[in-house]
């Protein structure tokens, strides 16, 4: 995958060198707010990042590695803007508005409340923004075994997939349905939402495959990432029993399957997880 030298997005705000004060303090109420959203949109990776140090609150210079991570995230976001700027209007007749992205270190504030690195990357529909602590890339590679460039690119595209869902009115409908559902049914709706976002990530990979020179080996990296963030894999890594009824994002196998459906079909309509579930 060749991303270096490509144009980045103008929709990225980098808070990583600002310290906690510049990013906004995070209180207990704020954390509870983002946990509510994170249950739906984020990945609980707290067992993997529990030892991560918190920022000191003082402004600092970004390291060369952090600069590269930021450049990478900006390029991938730009690629999704191009892809979904074509895919969504062609499939639905609706215009597509780009999401924003905030890069941060440790903690920050979002339109959904306080944000923590322990939540992993997440999308906040309230401000239509993706929040990403770029140290997640290291966690993904070193703690979850998903290295290579397309692994973190898949994660970014998945969060953009939630933005696509929000623009198409899918997220508001699902939120309403979950409020009226049992816990088990609510979890099942969450899984369908997440798998659809995986499928949208596959659509993006197919659309950008020529520009980024994405190979089958790269796709293997994305598949490894999809497996790493499956509910069963995360439960096992946390030392918990695997309980399918408690899944909120889908199993490793399901996440891989829906990513490949999007990649192979290349059509927005191929990603209707809800219809396949009879909804």
d(CA 177, CA 31): 24
The pairing of strands 129-133 and 100-104 is: parallel
pLDDT of residue 115: 80
- Which pLDDT score is estimated for 87? 97
CA 82, 127, 23, 141 dihedral sign is negative
pLDDT above 90 covers a percentage of the chain that reads 66
Contact 119, 38 (CB under 8 A): yes
List the Cα angle 257/263/269 in 5-degree steps: 90
Convert 65-83 to b/e letters by CB count within 10 Å (16 or more is b).
ebeebbbbbbbbbbbbbbb
Mean pLDDT of 151-157: 95
- What is the pLDDT averaged over residues 26-45? 44
CA–CA dist 170, 192 (Å, integer): 11
Note the pTM of the prediction, 2 decimals: 0.89
């Amino acid at each position: 995958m060749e991303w270096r030298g490509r144009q980045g997005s103008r929709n990225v705000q980098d808070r990583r060198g600002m310290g906690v004060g510049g990013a906004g303090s995070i209180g207990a109420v704020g954390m509870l707010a983002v946990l509510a959203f994170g249950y739906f949109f984020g990945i609980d990776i707290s067992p993997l990042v529990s030892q991560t140090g918190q920022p000191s609150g003082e402004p600092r210079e970004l390291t060369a590695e952090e600069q590269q991570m930021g450049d990478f995230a900006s390029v991938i976001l730009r690629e999704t803007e191009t892809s979904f700027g074509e895919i969504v209007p062609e499939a639905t007749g609706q215009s597509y508005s780009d999401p924003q992205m905030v890069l941060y270190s440790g903690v920050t504030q979002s339109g959904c409340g306080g944000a923590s690195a322990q939540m992993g990357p997440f999308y906040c529909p309230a401000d239509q923004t993706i929040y990403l602590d770029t140290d997640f890339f290291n966690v993904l590679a070193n703690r979850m075994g998903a290295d290579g460039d397309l692994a973190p690119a898949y994660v970014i595209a998945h969060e953009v997939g939630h933005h696509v869902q929000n623009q198409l009115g899918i997220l508001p409908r699902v939120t309403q349905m979950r409020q009226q559902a049992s816990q088990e049914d609510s979890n099942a709706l969450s899984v369908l939402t997440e798998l659809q976002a995986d499928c949208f990530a596959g659509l993006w990979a197919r659309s950008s495959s020529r520009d980024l020179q994405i190979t089958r080996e790269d796709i293997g990296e994305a598949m490894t990432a999809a497996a790493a963030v499956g509910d069963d894999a995360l439960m096992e890594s946390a030392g918990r029993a695997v309980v399918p009824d408690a899944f909120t994002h889908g199993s490793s196998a399901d996440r891989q399957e829906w990513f490949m459906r999007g990649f192979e079909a290349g059509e927005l309509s191929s990603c209707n997880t809800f219809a396949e579930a009879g909804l």
